Amino acid sequence: DIQMTQSPSSLSASVGDRVTITCRASQSIYTYLNWYQQKPGKAPNLLIYAASSLQTGVPPRFSGSGSETDFTLTISSLQPEDFATYYCQQSFRTPVFGPGTKVDIK
């Protein structure tokens, strides 16, 4: 299986901050990379697909970039509702999720 790593595993930030989360694949996955947001007790919610395409209904402060093995999720100005855990997931081969990045309040 392709392995996925994320960094950092957690971060503390303030409302209005720019936040960047990195995801790395163990081999090239081209742009078969998706990002999800999960809040406690809820199912994950798709934010970004195909590395940089914004899912319908997701605010434009979320953006994704990258290709091959290195990818980034950016939140341009963190809002109170963005405090959550974020996961990347590759869909090039058998689906595999990253371990997650928890974003909490500084």
Partner 1 sequence: QIQLQQSGPGLVKPSQTLSLTCAISGDSVSSNSAAWNWIRQSPSRGLEWLGRTYYRSKWYDDYAVAVKSRITINPDTSKNQFSLQLSSVTPEDTAVYYCAKSVTVAGPFHLWGQGTLVTVSS
Which residues of this protein are in contact with partner 1, per CB under 8 A?
Answer: 1, 32, 34, 36, 42-46, 49-50, 55, 87, 89, 91-92, 94-97, 99-100
Nearer to partner 1 by Cβ, of 3 and 77: the residue is 3
- Residue 48 or 78 with smaller CB distance to partner 1: 48
Nearer to partner 1, 93 or 106 (CB): 93
Q: How far is CA 86 from the centre of its chain?
A: 5
Question: What residues contact residue 43 under an 8 Å CB cut-off, 6+ apart?
Answer: none
d(CA 58, CA 48): 8
